[in-house]
C-alpha cells in the first residue's frame, strides 16, 4: 500500500516541484538575456552615434583638403612664422 501511495502521489508531487524549479530557472535566464540585449542595443546606439560624429569630422577634413588645400597650406606656414607671445 505504501509503494502504491509513493507512486500515485509522490512521483507527481516531485515532478511538479521539479517542473516549477525549471520554469523559474527559465524565467531567470530569459530576464538575463533581455537585460543583456538591452545593454547591447544601448552600446550599439552609442557606437553608431560616435561613428556618425567621426564621419562628419572626416567629411569636414576632406572638404578642407579638397576645397582649399593650397590656401590651408599657406595659412599653416604663416602660422609657423608668427612669433609666440
Query: Which comes out higher in pLDDT, residue 73 or 19?
Result: 19
CA angle 54–56–57, rounded 5-degree value: 65
Residue 13 CB neighbour total at 10 angstroms: 11
Q: Is the pLDDT of residue 18 over 70?
A: yes
Highest mean pLDDT out of 6-10, 12-16, 17-21, 56-60: 17-21
The pLDDT confidence band at residue 66, using thresholds 50, 70 and 90, is: confident
Which residues neighbour 65 within 8 Å (Cβ) at sequence distance 6 or greater?
Answer: 72
pLDDT for 29: 97
User: With 60 as the cut, is the pLDDT of residue 85 above it?
Assistant: no
Taking residues 31-48, report their average pLDDT.
Answer: 95
Mean pLDDT of 35-44: 95
Amino acid at each position: 500500500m505504501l509503494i502504491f501511495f509513493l507512486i500515485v502521489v509522490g512521483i507527481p508531487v516531485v515532478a511538479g516541484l521539479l517542473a516549477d524549479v525549471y520554469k523559474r530557472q527559465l524565467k531567470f535566464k530569459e530576464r538575463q538575456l533581455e537585460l543583456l540585449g538591452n545593454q547591447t542595443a544601448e552600446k550599439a546606439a552609442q557606437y553608431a552615434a560616435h561613428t556618425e560624429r567621426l564621419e562628419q569630422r572626416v567629411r569636414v577634413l576632406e572638404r578642407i583638403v579638397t576645397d582649399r588645400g593650397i590656401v590651408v597650406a599657406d595659412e599653416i606656414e604663416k602660422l609657423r612664422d608668427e612669433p609666440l607671445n
